[in-house]
Amino acid sequence: MCLAVTDNHSCLIATLYICNQNKLAINYSENILSTPIEFLKGVGPIRGDLLKKDLNIYTFEDLLGHFPFRHIDKTKVNSIADIHTDTDFIQVIGRLTHLEAIGEGRGRRLVGQLQDGTGVLELAWFQSINWVEKNLVLGSRYLVYGRTGVFNNKPQMVHPEMELFVPAQQGAKNFLEPVYPSTEKLKARNLGGRQLAALTKQLFLQLKQKDIPENIPRDVLGALRLMSRCEAYEKIHFPTSPEEYERALNRLKFEEFFIAQVRLSLIRLQRHKSSKGVLFEKVGDHFNDFYNNHLPFELTNAQKRVLKEIRQDTARGHQMNRLLQGDVGSGKTIVALLSMLLAADNGYQSCIMAPTEILAQQHYTGLGELLKEMPLNIRILTGSTKAKERRAIHAALLDGSLHFLVGTHALIEDTVQFKNLGFVVVDEQHRFGVAQRAKLRDKAAVPPHILVMTATPIPRTLAMTAYGDLDYSVMDELPPGRKPILTVHRDEMARASVMEFIREEVGKGRQAYIIYPLIDESEKVSYEDLMQGYEQVKSFFPEPTYLISMVHGRQPADMKQTNMDRFVNGETNIMVSTTVIEVGVNVPNASVMVIESSEKFGLSQLHQLRGRVGRGSEKSFCILLTSQKVSKEGRERIKVMCATNDGFKIAEKDLELRGPGDIEGTRQSGALNFKLVSLVNDRQVLESAKQWAEEVVTTDEKLEMAENLPLRNFLQQQKGKTGWSKIA
């Protein structure tokens, strides 16, 4: 669902909202943390510029937030003799016995030698050579830190961090020194990890506890035994033990997600309050009659839960904007229908929009069947509806005798006017844009409730963030008795036996899909692949014994439709197609899905395609064909597909493999850029932060209770600071 909210905008809403509640503005300009970095003792304008340019450190606060990526135990010093080919970072103490610039032009470099009595370590610099040479003192003892390698059989360190060795320093016990991300250039300019540590230490000398004020309510801190914010910042840089570091990290991760969730909750709350919506006061006869007498099966618990959520939403007088995620086949349609009955019980009309005509037709047929004994009218309106029929529908919508309208998205583009539209279902699409929503608003005095349904599962952690300001339901349960689809991997050498298998299934009266990757419909190569594939399939399955449908994006719409219809109606045995059939098509008699070059597809697409089979009473099969050589990631995807049918598990894996920014539907969501929190690995922290954020916001939405004041102050101060872009 696309509430294209820019974060600045959403932050602003949240902040304005809070400001309006209370005029207590705090002047944060006095905060020392906003001091420009050049004013930190030991920085100055030149190093200040370097820090800005190379590390984006502009203020004291930026330095405070430049976290170490690891710590080294400073008391742990190795001998040069300890260095092996697989030694990683190491710290040694030795005397600089040689230093010489050699080579010319681009080959020019500085080489040195360090000796510690156990061996000789070769040192090398390729950048800022003059500067380094000038600053090192031949013959002095140095504490040297860096990543080692073995070059020409000799241990070597490139661009090491060099610090004059002062024996007194070594007294500290169990002292962990932070190692910061830096650049070669900065290292060479004496702004490597060690120097950043020194600057950070300096910063802490200048900071007082009040400069890093708490932003998590006291009782939350207490319940979770979290470190204070001030302590956490100090300990993430300078812990005295690995455990302490973990606690500091954990606190800051919690904070990061907690603040984000509080913000989203406030926006959601604000939207609920400001958006007027139609009121569904009662559950009436239509709903009850259908539920008790015509519902063909028992609802799953997930379906019941979602219905309850919708019932609650629509009984408040505010507009519902709900995204319903349910795996392929989880039974979203019946939830939509029951909601539409609820609308009818309260005197409102509903419409359901599908992305394609084929799907609209299927909904119309399916819903019509379910409603056939109910005193309710349902019609379909698409681009191909004849003028006369169209006029009749328009009239029936206006006089209120038509209760349910099924159609494509063109439905809202059309000049259609309703008497009293109260409920809109958008199927198989999670982007339902602002513009479309605005059109809906024009169709009714009070905006109708919107239920957007999608079968592309995204992991919960991602959804919490990407859709955190919307109402969001999940159906993570399939109706009982489904036969799991058996998925196997075959390489292309086995194609003949795969075709043989299709022949067997077709012989039993089943139908099969064979899908080709035509990623870009205009792409010539894959188009030729498809045609070649088609010819090949034809030679395996000659007419007139077998009939084949082919559908791809280059066909005119009516040809596509005809070919599709023939397969849907069981007139053809095999459907050769590109991914145009991906979404929603329901042919229960199809039992085989063959995906050619399946290594080229993403996980969610593979899962969607597979969802085209396994819809009937027969056992179904998905065969993933690949070439013989498949990349490691490709193999991983195939493995996941063979191992599970669970869309949410697949989505989790997808998140692991590709990262949050690449998951369908969240691509543009900058809201996913967390600094510390990983949406893959920190699920527990995320869940708990979300729960607490909701608890805080629901019990004290104005954040005016004493324990929530620090949080409110923090949000005010943060106004406009974060750079989220779009919430999908």
Please report, as ranges, the residues that interact with ligand ADP according to CB under 6 A: 297-300, 303, 326, 328-334, 455, 479
DSSP 169: G
- Residue with the shortest CB distance to ligand ADP: 331
Nearer Cβ to ligand ADP, position 428 or 505? 428
Q: Say how many Å lie between the first and final Cα of the chain, rounded.
A: 6
Nearer Cβ to ligand ADP, position 422 or 614? 614
189, 47 Cβ separation under 8 angstroms? yes
- Is the backbone peptide bond immediately before 480 cis, with ω within 30 degrees of 0? no
DSSP 288-334: HHIIIII--SPPPHHHHHHHHHHHHHHTTTB--EEEEEE-TTS-HHH
Residue 150, amino acid:
V
Q: How far is the CB of 728 from ligand ADP (least distance, A)?
A: 20
114, 141 Cβ separation under 8 angstroms? no
Nearer Cβ to ligand ADP, position 455 or 551? 455
Element (H, E) at 176: strand 176-179
Q: Which two tokens stand for residue 343?
A: 């609308």
Nearer Cβ to ligand ADP, position 2 or 367? 367
Which of 358, 370, 285, 357 lies closest to 331 in space, CA to CA? Answer: 370
Q: How far is the CB of 450 from ligand ADP (least distance, A)?
A: 17
Residue 318, amino acid:
H
DSSP 326-340: E-TTS-HHHHHHHHH
232, 204 Cβ separation under 8 angstroms? no
Q: How far is the CB of 591 from ligand ADP (least distance, A)?
A: 15
Rounded (5°) CA angle 227-231-237? 115
Residue 554, amino acid:
R
Nearer Cβ to ligand ADP, position 586 or 708? 586
Q: How far is the CB of 667 from ligand ADP (least distance, A)?
A: 23
Nearer Cβ to ligand ADP, position 154 or 304? 304
Rounded (5°) CA angle 31-706-721? 35
Residue count (the chain): 728
d(CA 575, CA 515): 8
Rounded to 5 degrees, what are φ and ψ at 450? -125, 130
Q: How far is the CB of 368 from ligand ADP (least distance, A)?
A: 14
d(CA 728, CA 429): 12
d(CA 96, CA 115): 7
Nearer Cβ to ligand ADP, position 146 or 331? 331
Nearer Cβ to ligand ADP, position 88 or 369? 369
Nearer Cβ to ligand ADP, position 66 or 615? 615
Output Rg (C-alpha) for the chain, integer angstroms. 32
DSSP 192: S
* Residue 52 CA neighbour count, 13 Å, CB half: 13
Q: How far is the CB of 194 from ligand ADP (least distance, A)?
A: 57
Nearer Cβ to ligand ADP, position 359 or 444? 359
User: Residues 6 or more apart from 208 whose CB is under 8 A from it?
Assistant: none
Q: Tokens 């230093």 sit at which residue?
A: 99
424, 448 Cβ separation under 8 angstroms? yes
Nearer Cβ to ligand ADP, position 584 or 660? 584
Element (H, E) at 51: helix 44-55
Rounded to 5 degrees, what are φ and ψ at 351? -135, 155
The rounded Cα 21 to chain-centroid distance in angstroms is: 33
Nearer Cβ to ligand ADP, position 427 or 505? 427
**Looking at the DSSP assignment, which residues form a beta bridge with residue 324?**
453, 473
520 exposed, middle or buried (CB, 10 Å; 0-12, 13-18, 19+)?
exposed
d(CA 409, CA 407): 7
Q: Tokens 């859709």 sit at which residue?
A: 467
Nearer Cβ to ligand ADP, position 304 or 441? 304
Nearer Cβ to ligand ADP, position 178 or 331? 331
Q: How far is the CB of 334 from ligand ADP (least distance, A)?
A: 5
DSSP 36: B
Nearer Cβ to ligand ADP, position 285 or 298? 298
Nearer Cβ to ligand ADP, position 330 or 465? 330
Residue 409, amino acid:
H
Nearer Cβ to ligand ADP, position 55 or 378? 378
SS3 at position 275 = coil
User: Residues 6 or more apart from 225 whose CB is under 8 A from it?
Assistant: none
Contacts of 655-663 with CB under 8 Å at 24 or more apart are 655/458, 655/459, 655/461, 655/462, 655/679, 655/680, 656/680, 657/603, 657/633, 658/602, 660/462, 660/465, 663/458, 663/459, 663/462, 663/604
SS3 at position 415 = coil
Nearer Cβ to ligand ADP, position 329 or 670? 329
Q: How far is the CB of 471 from ligand ADP (least distance, A)?
A: 18
